[in-house]
Each structure stands twice: as structure tokens, then as C-alpha cells.
Amino acid sequence: MPRGDDEFVEFAQVAWKRLVHAAYLLTSDHHRAEDAAQTALARTYASWSRVRRQDAYAYTRRILVNHLTDGWRRPIREQPHSDVPDRPAPGDLADHITRRDWLVSALRTLAPRERAVVVLRYYFDLSEADVATELGISVGSVKSMGARGLARLRLHTDRVSPGATG
């Protein structure tokens, strides 16, 4: 196959779960996260013949973050709703949901760029230089936004702990 469809399908299957999770951390909405991951993979497929020889995951991740950033500039008018998990998580499901909701709530306190820096830096474990490249900002901006984001997360942590209600 000239475009490497089998290769792309394998890549998409491996990358899907992590892309959706990252998008969820950025959006706080499971459905928007799945849509964003699907959009990122579709755009990657359009350039697959060129991208497959490079770091396809980094390319797709960059598309995902840029797509979501564009959405923050042009907010979608959707009403949030409860998210029922597709399958139960191992262990205590209530504790898992409480911790996930706490993390998403904490991330919501950040400005969109700070949130993107924190997720790319600490969820994807990218270097400051890689985050700067992906977001098109300076390394100094990554450092300052990351520091501000972590400071806000610490404030949120001091106010509300993962197991507490309220």
C-alpha cells in the first residue's frame, strides 16, 4: 500500500488511548477529548506518507494541542454533562472517579496556555524545549507558565484534597 495504511492503523491503535486521555486533561470533557483525538489522527493520516518517517506521535500530539487551542479561541457552545465510564476501572471506581474529577477541576483553574504547558510537560513528560517548540513559544515562557501553573495547582491542592467533598 503506497500510503502505509496498515502502518497508520497500528499507530492509531497504539496512540488512541493516550491521546484521548491527554485531550481529556485539556478539555475536561470526554466527548470533546475523543473528537479532538479523532481530528488529530485524521489530520495525521492526511500527511502520513511524510510523517511516518518522523516522530508520528509528536506530530499528532502537536495537532491535538493546536486543535484544542483553536477551540479555546472559538469556544464551542455545548452543555457539559455527566460522563459514564465505558468500563469500570480496576480497584475502587468511586475513588478513581473522585481523583479524576479532582485533577480535572484543578486543571480547570489554569489558563489555557498554562494548562497546555503543564499537560505537555508533566503528562507527556516533554522537555521545556520540546514544549516550547510544540506551542510555538520561548523556553522562558514555558518555564514561567509552568511555574505559574504549578503554583495554582498547589493552591488548589491546599484548598481541596482528592478525597474531600466540597
Per-residue pLDDT of 98-111, as tens digits, reads 777 888 888 888 99
3-state secondary structure of 60: helix
> What pTM does this model have?
0.57
The whole-number pLDDT of residue 88 equals: 53
Beta-carbon-side half-sphere exposure of residue 133 (alpha carbons within 13 Å): 8
1-74 folds as Rna Polymerase Sigma Factor; Chain: A (1.10.1740)
pLDDT tens readout for residues 3-47: 568 889 999 999 999 999 999 988 888 999 999 999 999 999 998
pLDDT score of 64: 92
CA distances (Å), 57 to each of 14, 16, 112, in order? 10, 10, 22
Helix (H, G, I), strand (E, B) or coil at 134: helix
Instruction: Report domain extents, the chain.
Output: 1-74, 91-166
What is the pLDDT of the chain when averaged over all its residues?
82
91-166 has CATH 3.30.420.40 classification? no
